[in-house]
Structure 1
């Protein structure tokens, strides 16, 4: 069980570890974690530790090929002002894979990291 002082970790398989680290730290507010080498790195945002596993990492080697297809699973990052974040990211050259979708819970937009992993940017609805 994760305690309040521990991170919740998610593993993303990436083709290029340095490019993935640069993407998450430059664009999405993550900081570099203590682990970094050409095969593996971790980046941290709040209580989330995102494990970036390159092709040579043990995490990538343990994953069967049929489990590597991109699906609808994604990390979900919350922002107070989604429009401002979208403008900032577009100015930095980040492209989005969807338009903004708004529903009763809030607004969201999807983008992909350099390896094609989905990332959801979300702003909760005001109540």
Structure 2
């Protein structure tokens, strides 16, 4: 607490200041943008991006994380934005047929901002993801 009894900046504002450039918080999207003097700035309408621009954003995201992505294997649009499925080499092995591949889903809003990502499954390249280990 500060000397005047205020709790300090709001949690929403602190989250926005600490956020990395690669991720966007839904909380911050709900807060009105501010100018350098702290007053509210006018918000421009967000441009809706097409599939090619979303795929480019997904590739840039994978490169930022140093993922060795092999394929963008899926793309889905829904009311909240876009979901991109990408195949990523998690572990390189010799021979390459024993590489461990993971499938990630990466979510973007309509403007191409990252909402989140999750690993859906992983498998050994030579076995495929539908075969059981024997």
Instruction: State the TM-score, normalizing by the size of structure 1.
Output: 0.27
Query: Larger Cα Rg: Structure 1 or Structure 2?
Result: 2
Structure of greater relative contact order (alpha carbons < 8 Å, 6+ residues apart): 1
Instruction: State the TM-score, normalizing by the size of structure 2.
Output: 0.26
